[in-house]
Structure 1
Amino acid sequence: MDTPGQRQQSDIGDYLEILRSQRQLSPHTLDSYLLDLQELIRLAGPTELKSLNTHQIRRFAAQMHGAGQSARTIARKLSSWRSFYRWLVENHDLPANPVEGVRAPKKGKPLPKALGADDAVRLVAHKGSDQPTARANRAMFELLYSSGLRVSELAGLDIAPVTETGYSSAGWVDMREGEVHVTGKGGKERIVPVGNPALEALQDWLAVRGSLLKSDPHPLFLSGRGSRISTRLIQLRIKAHAQSLDIPANVHPHMLRHSFASHVLQSSGDLRAVQEMLGHSSIAATQVYTSLDFQHLAKVYDQAHPRAKK
């Protein structure tokens, strides 16, 4: 008489033969199914596969997650197991599929990419020429990093608050108070401080802004043609600027927003203040920067501590 272990190996062999002959799966795919089912046998230990229940399958998924397997890998293995048990239900009178309803852990959202403080300062502080376009670039980049603006908020800034028939300013910079007023997502208004370097860069830009101004007097930042600058043009300019400085990153405006949040949080530890300055409606959206902060601390530890794991 076959042992339980021999019987389940026989079941797996029959199942894989069905996949090969009827579904015509490739040898590579069949090998993947076999490896996934062998892992299930390992996790089950002395318990027969036909005796496993949903609670145990969930525990196995948690064990794989705790061992560092990715959500995608766990989802694939659960899919292999689910298909195998579906075949057992249909062909071997198994009462229920224990993998039905078991889901893999959610895929973690990738952390936002932020520049290091040195690279961020080098990017925004580089003056370049005194040409109007170069002055506009420096003022925009300084303001992005100084106040954590979204690129759409930056492009929408006016030189002063305007309310007239059919038009109302979405944002402007109060030079005297050192503040930028913006209207963010969902029409939410906020006021964010502007640092002195950004205010000085804005003054340099305002001194030559008139040379580019055409018909619309309201926009703070202008393209070379004299119209309100577009978000796409800001993206192209900051990328080209970073490349000219050999900054090893695919720099985009939102990266300066991430850098602003990460660096303020590293220095202050005040998550609520960062939330307000970013205009996040939920603290959960801001908490991702605590992960960036920990990454920074872990890097410093690894580099500096004599007993750190290299």
Structure 2
Amino acid sequence: MDADADAALVERYLEHVRVGKRLAQRTVELYALDLRKLLENARAANIPLTRVQTAHIRRWVAQMHAGGRSGRGIALILSGWRGFYAWLGLHDQVPSNPVQDVKAPRSPRPLPKALGVDDAMRLADHEDEGADPVLEARDVAIVELLYGCGLRVGELVGLDVVASGVARGWIDLDAGEAHVLGKGSKRRAVPIGRQAVQALQAWLGLRGQLATTDPALFVGRGGRRLTAQSVWLRLRRRSMQAGLATPVHPHMLRHSFASHVLQSSSDLRAVQELLGHANIATTQVYTRLDFQHLAKAYDAAHPRAHRKR
């Protein structure tokens, strides 16, 4: 094989993506690293780049995976190699793209981050004594709905005070329900717990002080509907004030809601309905969180959990 010819092909391709496609310098550098790996593999196999076959690519993917490379990392490398061979094909250097049908190994799905029960209670019970009492009442109600009902932040900010023909969602305190518009424009009713009802009643008693004509349940200082970003920022600030080790975001409270309900009830179908998941496989990730909880309890309590050092 002609190592110099292969290196020249790689340099021509990098010049193409740098000048012709005007990719960012950092992207070009990453492409160069990936193609250097391809060159090393081809040299070790004693074949030119233009003679690489799909079987070679699959073998190299297996080697990277065995070496500890993540599925996501391998997928990025394959993407770079695929683009290189597509370019070679356009210049009649290869008859077909050997990377075209090769997929990276699946990475394990990361577990959602959930608060422990004690941290969730600390956040829900936190009182910011120096805050504007109107905004404080609003933020307490937000936390209670996110954690007590497992709402998505988009569902939360879409809530109106009362039902109407154009409402995306609304609350019915008499029935103790929140009616939300979830993903796929699917409506569902979620029960509101006693603490959340009390927090909402306190907020609604003060909401008029913001002089709003907006039908939104949650509004800001200017009387306009709160944005999802505003909720993120307020919740992050509140969690830090409450002394939590990790800044909290709205979806973390949704995960916490699901995990804690499942720990207490073990009713996966009920949790699926409450969260509005179309597929129960999406909900099953919380069984892994529940197992983690059980495993920690075992490690902490069982005399045979750990061998004495």
TM-score (ref. length: structure 1): 0.70
Measured in 1, the distance between the counterparts of 2:185 and 2:82 equals: 48
Residue 144 of structure 1: aligned partner: 146
Is 2:187 the counterpart of 1:189? Answer: yes
The Cα shift of 1:191 comes to 0.9
The Cα shift of 1:212 comes to 2.8
Residue 133 of structure 2: aligned partner: 131
Residue 269 of structure 1: aligned partner: 266
Measured in 2, the distance between the counterparts of 1:293 and 1:245 equals: 25
1:38–1:225 distance in 2 versus 1, CA, 3 Å: closer
| Structure 1 residues not aligned, in runs of 5+ | 1-10
User: Which of the pair has more CA radius of gyration?
Assistant: 1
- RMSD over aligned Cα atoms: 4.3
CA contact 2:14–2:32 (8 Å) conserved in 1: no
Residue 19 of structure 2: aligned partner: none
Measured in 2, the distance between the counterparts of 1:302 and 1:19 equals: 56
Is 2:167 the counterpart of 1:169? Answer: yes
Residue 103 of structure 2: aligned partner: 103
Measured in 1, the distance between the counterparts of 2:222 and 2:12 equals: 65
Residue 276 of structure 2: aligned partner: 279
- Write out aligned runs for 1:69-80 (5 A): 69-75=69-75
Is 2:223 the counterpart of 1:226? Answer: yes
Measured in 1, the distance between the counterparts of 2:32 and 2:209 equals: 69
The Cα shift of 1:204 comes to 2.0
CA contact 2:34–2:77 (8 Å) conserved in 1: no
Could you tell me which amino acid in structure 2 is paired with residue 143 of structure 1?
L
Could you tell me which amino acid in structure 2 is paired with residue 121 of structure 1?
M
The Cα shift of 1:71 comes to 2.0
1:151–1:82 distance in 2 versus 1, CA, 3 Å: closer
Could you tell me which amino acid in structure 2 is paired with residue 284 of structure 1?
A
The Cα shift of 1:137 comes to 0.7
Is 2:285 the counterpart of 1:288? Answer: yes
Measured in 1, the distance between the counterparts of 2:35 and 2:160 equals: 60
Measured in 2, the distance between the counterparts of 1:56 and 1:20 equals: 18
Could you tell me which amino acid in structure 2 is paired with residue 255 of structure 1?
M
1:249-292 CA distance string (max 9 Å, x none):
23222221122122223333332222211112222333333344
Residue 210 of structure 1: aligned partner: 208
- Write out aligned runs for 1:243-254 (5 A): 243-254=240-251
Aligned with 2:212: secondary structure?
A: coil
The Cα shift of 1:111 comes to 4.0
Measured in 1, the distance between the counterparts of 2:82 and 2:162 equals: 63
1:170–1:106 distance in 2 versus 1, CA, 3 Å: same
Could you tell me which amino acid in structure 2 is paired with residue 173 of structure 1?
I
Aligned with 2:188: secondary structure?
A: strand
| Structure 2 residues not aligned, in runs of 5+ | 16-29
Could you tell me which amino acid in structure 2 is paired with residue 277 of structure 1?
L
Measured in 1, the distance between the counterparts of 2:14 and 2:227 equals: 53
Of 152, 155, 161, 1:153 maps to 155
Aligned with 1:168: secondary structure?
A: coil
User: Which sits farther off after the overlay, 131-140 or 201-210?
Assistant: 201-210
The Cα shift of 1:62 comes to 4.4
Percent identity between the two aligned chains: 46
1:95–1:137 distance in 2 versus 1, CA, 3 Å: closer
TM-score (ref. length: structure 2): 0.70
